[in-house]
Structure 1
Amino acid sequence: MAKTITKFRIFTIADYIEEQKWLEEQHKKGWKLVKFIPPFLFKFEECEPDNFYYQLDFKNEKASSDYIGIFNDYGWEYCGSCFGWNYFRKPEKLVENESEKEIFSDNESRLDMISHIYKTRMIPLLVVFLTIIIPNVVRGINNHSGAVRNALYYMFLVLFIVYVMIIGYCGRKLNKIKNDNKK
């Protein structure tokens, strides 16, 4: 049985490029991805150190055999799915030119994926923020009495700060990726 390790690493929905590079570095060190354990654990299996390209595709649905088959036809091995992301890898030795290092054949496909991330992840996050977090912070400011109310107010205040940071960070980063791919 092969040796395995589990590593903790946080990536947001906007950090998928960094996640790909990190997975490539792990493979170069002799650890190939075998499983993603939500929310922030990666399980690796010991392997021969080698150069592999890792790519993530966001579908927000279970990967079908046809979908996986399309990528297999181009040399991409399916590694699994988590939170709507599908993980693929391909050995560098199968890459003959620059375009084969990525699963996307054109900028339009990349832009479609980013648009899909906005629709299925960012908009719901914003809706929760606007309909639950903000009203509860405002209510807490107006009704400041009792220990339980104070605790709830501070809890929603912390959530407010976290949501502002996440929405701001992911929104800026996804917009930058989107603008870079429009060129």
Structure 2
Amino acid sequence: MVTDIGSAKSIYKNRLSFVWDYKRDEAWLADCSKRGLQLNRPGVFRYRFDFDQSVRYEYRMDYQDTMNDKQLEEYCNLYADAGWEYVGTCVNWRYFRRQYLEGETTELYSDKESIRSFYRRVQKMLGIIALVNFVVLLVNSKHWISGLMGESRISILIGALSVFQLLCVLLLGYGVLKFQKLIKLHSD
């Protein structure tokens, strides 16, 4: 979908991805930039781009806990000093970009401890969400099992929701294990 805003064109792209594929998301954003689509606003499933072929960026993502305005400003200034421009935030994921230079690839974190700390933050977030979903799954399952005796429509709905929640818990658990593997990979 393309929307004209003044003289700039905004293009919206939908994308489903998982947090453990953040490197793939960074590569996708860089590929979009190569085609003239510059990220304007990140989103959960929908990204807004401005069309500008005069520049090309590489993108990096970082996960940080919730910050107040002052903390966010200090955090962004730290990366600005290293040449990174802050683009936006989506669910505590911070998006940065810098001008693309042929043959040069730069990461936000250069030392292993910072990389492990980043992976631990993401892993913790996934673990908390998985735990909350697991507790709700247990409560729903109890109601579903007790509702089966009466075979009510609500018990069928709760059963379907329980299956969906189980899939979510398994997927989140997979993410936790994926980041544990990355933490071990960057340990010495």
TM-score by length of 2: 0.84
Match of 1:141 among 132, 141, 145: 145
Match of 1:155 among 151, 157, 161: 161
SS at match of 2:32: helix
Q: Hey, what does 1:32 align to over in structure 2?
A: 38
Match of 1:111 among 113, 116, 125: 116
- Residues 42 and 95 in structure 2, CA contact (< 8 A), matched pair in contact too: no
- Could you give the per-residue CA deviations for residues 7-37 of structure 1, whole angstroms, max 9, x where no partner exists? 0001222121111111000001111100023
Supply the distance in 1 between the matched residues of 2:63 and 2:16 (Cα, whole angstroms).
17
Between stretches 170-179 and 80-89, larger displacement belongs to 170-179
Supply the distance in 1 between the matched residues of 2:103 and 2:11 (Cα, whole angstroms).
32
Q: Hey, what does 1:44 align to over in structure 2?
A: 49
Does residue 177 of structure 2 align to residue 172 of structure 1? yes
- Could you give the per-residue CA deviations for residues 109-137 of structure 1, whole angstroms, max 9, x where no partner exists? 11101111122x22222221331113322
> Which residues of structure 2 form unaligned runs of 5+?
1-6
Q: Hey, what does 1:76 align to over in structure 2?
A: 84
Change over 3 Å in CA distance of 1:171–1:49 after alignment to 2: farther
- Residues 27 and 49 in structure 1, CA contact (< 8 A), matched pair in contact too: no
SS at match of 1:182: coil
**Aligned-CA RMSD value:** 2.2
Match of 1:64 among 47, 52, 72: 72
Does residue 98 of structure 2 align to residue 90 of structure 1? yes
SS at match of 2:20: coil
TM-score by length of 1: 0.86
Between stretches 44-53 and 20-29, larger displacement belongs to 44-53
Q: CA deviation at 1:107?
A: 1.4
Supply the distance in 1 between the matched residues of 2:40 and 2:56 (Cα, whole angstroms).
16
SS at match of 2:110: coil
